[in-house]
Amino acid sequence: LLLLCHAEEAAVIVSGLRSTDVFVGESATFSCELSPPGVRNVQWWLDGTPLHNNLVTEISQQDGRIHTLTLNDVACHDSGTVTFRAGSLISTAKLLVKGIAL
């Protein structure tokens, strides 16, 4: 009797986060595409602080592949490192929030 076991296809990051510069009060969007779709244990951080879906932080996914984080109405103190983690996969990018010169 021969049993064939298919190991779960290893997930990979197809396209990672990209560093973004925005002005105070604008929105900053980061996205990461994974393959295959349906990866669980997805988490976003900003400078080591876990992010959760709320009015200023929008976390979404499309087709189970494209994971998106939008930070609305950013302030200077939001500048830092955005980290996306899915299982053992990690992608990071820098967020720079610029003040508006008067």
Q: Where are the domains of the chain?
A: 12-98
d(CA 53, CA 57): 5
- Of the two residues 58 and 11, the one the predictor is more confident about is 58
Q: Which residue type is seen at 99?
A: G
Q: How confident is the model at residue 1 (pLDDT cuts 50, 70, 90)?
A: low
pTM of the entire predicted model: 0.88
Q: How far apart are CA 54 and CA 32, in angstroms?
A: 20
Q: Which residue has the higher pLDDT, 41 or 15?
A: 15
54-100: pLDDT as tens digits? 999 999 999 999 999 999 999 999 999 999 999 899 999 999 999 97
What is the dotted CATH code of the domain comprising 12-98?
2.60.40.10
Reported as a pLDDT band with limits 50, 70 and 90, residue 38 is confident
Beta strands 20-23 and 89-98, pairing class: parallel
3-state secondary structure of 62: strand
